[in-house]
Amino acid sequence: MGVTCIIDFDNNPYGTYFAGQVATGQVTLKLDKVKLAKAVTLNISGFAETQWSESTGTGKDRSSDTYRGREDYIASQTYLVGSNMSSKLVISFSEYLPADSIFTFVAEVSLEPGVHVYNFACQIPATCPSSIEGHYGRVRYLVKVSIVRPWKFDQSYIRCFTVLKLMDLNYDSPLLRVPAHCESLKTYCCWPCKSDPLQLQLTLPQTGFVPGQICTVNMLVTNDSHIRVEMMQVSLVMQVTYHATHLSRTATKYERIVVTKLMGDPVANHCKKQFQYALRLPATPPTCFNLCRIIQIAYEVEVEAKVKGCHKNEVVKVPLTIGSVPLSEHMQMQPRELQGFPAQTLDASGLAYPAEIATAPPGSPGIRKSLQLSVVSVMLISVLFIEPPNYEEALHMRSTVGGKNMDEFQGSAPPNTISLDGSDFSPRYPIFNIPSPTAPVDNNNENFNADTNANKGTWL
């Protein structure tokens, strides 16, 4: 068996924390025989990294440049066994040898067979960005236990954890509460065969959402052209921007990730049709523009009309902001006076995390009842009387960078060999079960049926 290392977080089986909390846990070492080591270290790190290669020239003149970027947020090292002073013993025989002659002996410690348990705690800075995994970069937080062995490679054990940046939509732009409308117009062929236009009109009830909410997409398609629309597609698109440098050159990479999508009905030529789509937002990181200098995240709702033939599809987009605290005007508020409490509204200052509490609710409802809730969940329950969020994996997050294994990346974190189920690492994000706003309906369309099933169209 050799050595077995288990890294656990206190009351937090999946290791999900908010920026500003204290990550606490235990390291359990199990040995079946005596093991000699110089030290046992615990490193807790958080960083953002980007990397990709670009080729220039052709043939013999072809060359490849690697662009890299990095930001560090947490760099904590603790000696569980030994210390940086005791790992080496320095003795000078100044009486018999020249003063600059120094003999260095490596001091070893014996790790006895059995179970060794060590506790740890680390303050997560409040300015840390949320964990993400992308194709050209990542924001990752990890705990690494290393057994420093004399004359051998270090024996390391790693476990990643998720950090979430609190983004309260109530303190962002007031425009997030306002319905958004966008439309586009497209004609086919050229004069004198120019067709009448295909018009797309997209309406959202608001532009600020949290994962778990349903974004009601109201779509009006006026197809006066002679080209048939074979399918309507509604997508939530995640736009990730990466920045990196090579020597003195700076470059930017863009990644487009379709988080979720719905397929709609066709629209025949010379017809008009009203759609209403229920687009549920899955687990995904919040919008991020200013927390990380080398990785930014934006979202948009994209509606695409896939037309028949070799014609170019028509697309209309509306930017979306995803946060971690929902807009309060859509909460099911209950009078606190009935329970002996004064009336209170959501206050972001009340969501500050005391250092002594460092738990986030696990993803399983059954386990959640037996574990301590996070401060955010407690505040949301006491103020808004809603269910605490579950924490689910982001299925669209990737665990490789540039198509390579994480071992080849600039950092030292391998892909997720440390998940509870042994699978690749995917960050976990809160999923809320709260009411969703409804899209405004065009009152001029008297034939529109408000009770139409989600994702189905109504002919006008």
pLDDT tens for each residue of 419-446: 343 446 789 999 988 877 765 555 444 4
Spatial contact of 445 and 460, defined as CB atoms under 8 Å apart: yes
Residue 282 lies in a domain: yes
Q: Which two tokens stand for residue 245?
A: 């440098």
The alpha carbon of residue 169 and the mean position of all alpha carbons in its chain are separated, in whole angstroms, by: 17
Give how many domains the chain has, as a whole number.
1
CA dihedral of 171, 173, 175, 176, whole degrees rounded to 10 = -50
Residue 105 lies in a domain: no
Q: What is the mean pLDDT of residues 20-24?
A: 93
Residues 368 and 162: their CA atoms lie apart, in Å, by 17
Residue 266 lies in a domain: yes
Residue 68 lies in a domain: no
Q: Which pLDDT value is given to residue 141?
A: 94
Q: Is the pLDDT of residue 333 over 70?
A: no
**Which residue has 């071992």 as its token pair?**
407
Average pLDDT along the chain: 76
Q: Kindly report which listed range (268-277, 284-293, 334-343) carries the lowest average pLDDT score.
A: 334-343
Q: What is the mean pLDDT of residues 180-203?
A: 83
CATH code: domain of residue 443? 2.60.40.640
Q: Is the pLDDT of residue 12 over 60?
A: yes
Residue 210 lies in a domain: yes
Residue with more model confidence, 59 or 357: 59
* pLDDT band, very low/low/confident/very high, at 47 (cuts 50, 70, 90): very high
Cis geometry, peptide bond prior to residue 192 (ω within 30 degrees of 0): yes
Which residue segment(s) compose the domain that 185 sits in?
169-326+436-459
* Exposed / middle / buried, residue 33 (Cβ in 10 Å: 0-12, 13-18, 19+): exposed
Tell me the per-residue pLDDT of 388-424, one tens digit each, with 9 for 90 and over.
788 999 988 866 433 444 444 444 334 333 334 344 6
Residue 230 lies in a domain: yes
Q: Is the pLDDT of residue 51 over 60?
A: yes
Quick one: which of 3, 81, 87, 88 has its CA closest to 42?
81
Spatial contact of 428 and 283, defined as CB atoms under 8 Å apart: yes
**Which residue has 């099911």 as its token pair?**
332
- Terminal-to-terminal C-alpha distance of the chain: 71
Residue 38 lies in a domain: no
Q: Which pLDDT value is given to residue 416?
A: 34
Q: What is the mean pLDDT of residues 312-324?
A: 92
Q: Which pLDDT value is given to residue 440?
A: 54
Residue with more model confidence, 328 or 46: 46
Q: Kindly report which listed range (226-230, 358-362, 425-429) carries the lowest average pLDDT score.
A: 358-362
Tell me the per-residue pLDDT of 69-103, one tens digit each, with 9 for 90 and over.
999 999 999 999 887 654 444 444 444 445 554 54
- 3-state percent breakdown (helix, strand, coil) of the chain, nearest 5: 10, 45, 45
Residue 237 lies in a domain: yes
Residue with more model confidence, 140 or 98: 140
Residues 271 and 149: their CA atoms lie apart, in Å, by 75
